[in-house]
Chains A and B, each alone.
Chain A
Amino acid sequence: MDKLTTVDGRAYPFGMKNVDTDIVIPAHWLKTISRAGLGRGAFEVLRKEPGNVFDDPEYAGSPILIAGDNFGCGSSREHAAWALGDLGIKVVIAPSFSDIFSGNAFKNGILTVVLPQDAIDRLMEVAKSDPIHVDLEQQSVTTQYQDRFHFEIDPFRKHCLLGGLDEIGLTLDEADVIDAFEAKDAVSRPWLVPAVA
């Protein structure tokens, strides 16, 4: 996984609320068996509308997406995170996210930043003409106009994103505690292994 420290660049001033993962990537794109190439399907339905931000050359290749409340609700499809990643998005900023989406985004090296609505409104304004700067180490979103918004992030997620660390590898390093749990469990819950029909 790539390290994520600072992200500097234009942001899509998207702003839509309750964007479910069907909007991020429609179901017919879920038939892939590989992670690459899904950016072509990102926001497919919205992109049929003329003047949508995703096809506006002004924002082409922006690494930041600004959205409304409850971004990524609905289906748990991780394809939503892959599609955003494939589109080149490294940071999504919104007032709130669905739990599943923000987990999926993190696991794919995408940072989700929660900021209050007034900060979002301000960033939406700035995004129309100027870049936005996200600093994970400092936990801040800043603009060239002296705006500075602090955000919270889980320290473990921060550590992993900064270091580009693979979560599975980290857990496998602790195989001994899992072994110990299973040994204890085999005694206390002997019924756990499914009967073989």
Chain B
Amino acid sequence: MVKPRTLYEKIWDAHVVERRPDGTCLIYIDRHLVHEVTSPQAFEGLRLAGRKVRRPDLTLAVPDHNLPTTPRRDADGHRIPIADPESAQQLAALERNAPEFGVRLIGDADPEQGIVHVVGPEQGFTLPGTTLVCGDSHTSSHGALGALAFGIGTSEVEHVLATQTLLLKQSKTMQVVVEGELGYGVTPKDVALAICGTIGTAGGTGYVMEYRGSVFRDMSIEGRLTVANMSIEAGARSGLFAPDEKTFAYIEGRPMAPKGADWDAAVAWWKTLHTDEGATFDKTVVIDAADIVPNVTWGTSPEDVVPVTGVVPDPESFADASKRAAAQKSLDYMGLSAGQKMEDVAIEHVFIGSCTNSRIEDLRAAAGLLKGRHIAAGIKHAMVVPGSGLVKRMAEAEGLDRIFLDAGFEWREPGCSACLGMNPDKVPAGERCASTSNRNFMGRQGPGSRTHLVSPEMAAAAALTGRLTDVRALMGEKEGMVA
């Protein structure tokens, strides 16, 4: 009898090129996404060593981190120069390297351009059962479609470009099980935050997670992308969802997806990609769906999660001394004090975007709440940055852009934007942002910026009231709103 295997073990086994005596494996990489920040030194390395890209056909380059979210071409189609010379230089390097090494580039002004982790699934480049890497930690996102996807550093980018393989050790396995039904106003982002809050930012270190249970089965592909995206925030390089009919329906017909007989062969294999009955995980985390509420972060780590109806925790309440010190430091940085009600925290900025929450469902959810309303007087700046040009167009076709603009939001070009403050979209020092992104680290959205991670619905709610707000209260006011 064949030993029952987890989904992760099945994908791993299918990609072992060679197993070394010490257990290290040379693993074949099926998909490689390249962006402008972590690739220049890799291409530089290839050039210096006189090496080629082994499989340019399995590689896709998309700039996203540095691109301004203001228009990139003037009326005559000429590039509007990027003000920051270093950003311009990184973009120019990618535009030079991709053609030189024969890699397909979706350029800054192409309608398909967007954040790599939005573009991959959207183009049908991301497929179940594939190994997919990118020089970016949120590559875990692609696990939503059943791809074993993980972030790598630039030396590994160079290794994959040159050899289409990586030397890896098999990870331990963890199942995160959430059974039940999510409550009214509770979103996949709240589930992701609940997981970070439960297991901590190091809880998943060394593990590949598999998301199991009815909540994840019932979740849309876009919701799964949000959850898988934040696997890395809980320490796991990869988070997997077993591919199902929803996955196949999402992928079928996308530009780079298999067609015809290839499609049938692919689906036949994908259907075998689930954890076998009787397979064991090294660790199990169980969360009851009924315990998950709309969440916000109070500190400078994604594990610093409280219900929006809760209060800022007292650093003294943490058992561990270093955690107490860290919490006090976070509170000083965040300008908050123990016991303060989260709903009393006033905010000045709202950012709806990032690879966590910038897909069409996210924008629909936020727009649903904003429709016919206007942001509060205290909001200095609210913006929506769609995850890709295709998301932007779809939203515009549905009239979502009008809803955002009428509500007082800016409607921008796709890219990473204020998620990491690498382009001009930054939160000023000492000011506070309700953000749909994934990291609230010190200075993440700009030096001195204060970030509260929330779902798109909660970001919209915060925009309307000017403070962190339980979205459920506002949803109650609106007739016909569904979670």
Q: Is the CB of B49 within 8 A of A74?
A: no
Write out, one digit per residue, whether chain B residues 4-41 have a CB within 8 A of any chain A CB (1) or not (0): 00000000000001101010101010100000011011
Cα-based distance from A30 to B136 in the complex (angstroms)? 12
Chain B residues within an 8 Å CB radius of A112: none
Could you tell me which residues of chain B, from 119 to 134, have a CB within 8 Å of some CB in chain A?
A: 123-125, 127, 130
**Size bracket, chain B contacts:** 35 or more
**Size bracket, chain A contacts:** 35 or more
Chain A residues within an 8 Å CB radius of B441: 20, 22-23, 74
Cα-based distance from A31 to B63 in the complex (angstroms)? 13
Which one of B123, B163, B255, B256 lies within 8 Å of A171 (CB-CB)?
B163
Question: Cβ of B113 < 8 Å from any Cβ of A?
Answer: no
Cα-based distance from A68 to B125 in the complex (angstroms)? 39
Could you tell me which residues of chain B, from 233 to 291, have a CB within 8 Å of some CB in chain A?
A: 235, 237, 255-259, 262-263, 265-266, 269
Which one of A30, A33, A181, A195 lies within 8 Å of B422 (CB-CB)?
A30
Cα-based distance from A136 to B49 in the complex (angstroms)? 28
Chain B residues within an 8 Å CB radius of A77: 37-38, 153
Q: Is the CB of A177 within 8 A of B265?
A: no
Write out, one digit per residue, whether chain A residues 14-47 have a CB within 8 A of any chain B CB (1) or not (0): 0001101011001110111111000000000100
Question: Cβ of B479 < 8 Å from any Cβ of A?
Answer: no
Q: Is the CB of B137 within 8 A of A75?
A: yes
Q: Contacts A31-B90, A76-B153, A107-B156 given: A96-B28 contact, CB under 8 Å?
A: no
Question: Cβ of B338 < 8 Å from any Cβ of A?
Answer: no
Which one of A45, A99, A191, A197 lies within 8 Å of B255 (CB-CB)?
A197
Write out, one digit per residue, whether chain B residues 347-379 have a CB within 8 A of any chain A CB (1) or not (0): 000000000000000000000000000000000
Instruction: Give B285 Cβ to nearest chain A Cβ, in Å.
Output: 18
Write out, one digit per residue, whether chain A residues 132-175 have a CB within 8 A of any chain B CB (1) or not (0): 00000000000000000000001110000000000111011011
Chain B residues within an 8 Å CB radius of A81: 153
Q: Which residue of B lies closest to A108 (CB)?
A: B155
Write out, one digit per residue, whether chain A residues 96-121 have a CB within 8 A of any chain B CB (1) or not (0): 10111001100110000000000000
Write out, one digit per residue, whether chain B residues 401-413 have a CB within 8 A of any chain A CB (1) or not (0): 0000000000000
Q: Is the CB of B136 within 8 A of A76?
A: yes
Q: Is the CB of A33 within 8 A of B152?
A: no
Q: Is the CB of B165 within 8 A of A171?
A: yes
Q: Which residue of B lies closest to A73 (CB)?
A: B201
Q: Contacts A23-B442, A68-B322 given: A96-B90 contact, CB under 8 Å?
A: no
Q: Is the CB of A33 within 8 A of B258?
A: no
Question: Cβ of A62 < 8 Å from any Cβ of B?
Answer: no
Q: Which residue of B lies closest to A105 (CB)?
A: B153
Q: Is the CB of B162 within 8 A of A168?
A: yes
Chain A residues within an 8 Å CB radius of B125: 194
Which one of A18, A27, A191 lies within 8 Å of B263 (CB-CB)?
A191
Cα-based distance from A69 to B266 in the complex (angstroms)? 43
